[in-house]
Structure 1
Amino acid sequence: MALEALADPDRSHGAIVRVAEQLGVHREALRTWVRKAQAEGQDASSVSADRNARLAQLEKENRELRRANTILK
């Protein structure tokens, strides 16, 4: 969330403070976490790509389970 806000030029100004308030954490704690994530090489696009891949996997699994449920009824 914070990495994505920082990556967007339109939302980057004040992003740490804004996201910290939304999450209910201290802004310096969030800033530390963001710096650590950036140092580990996790940019917003890789986080989004990982999330999208996981979402696609879960949606596929959900379809398969619904189909199996229908067959078993």
Structure 2
Amino acid sequence: MRAMSKNNANKFSPEVRERAVRLVQESRGEYPSLWVAVESIAPKIGCSAQTLLTWVKRHEVDSGQREGVTTSERERIKELERENRELRRANDILRTASAFFAQAELDRKLKS
């Protein structure tokens, strides 16, 4: 079985994902386990069972039914990490510039 890449997972619209998750939730009681429900419904959606299970778990985390980092928290963490990288780069630039100007000032004083 071929593993689905992130790009393949994105070929399903949010509406299809929501519908698939809703189908699993609504019919969950008719199956002996969540996995069996997912395996039954995934082919009807046209995705792998593992992909559908991932969507179901993500929905459960986002709705507070399952422990974990929500989608919005994950996005915020990514945003903060990106901002942190930018600030580190800016600090490195400022540190380098400060050392350059300090050295230039020292050289100027030594020449006078």
Q: TM-score per shorter chain, which class?
A: 0.3 to 0.5
Query: TM-score, normalized by length of structure 2?
Result: 0.33
Query: TM-score, normalized by length of structure 1?
Result: 0.46
Higher RCO (CA 8 Å, separation ≥ 6 residues): 1
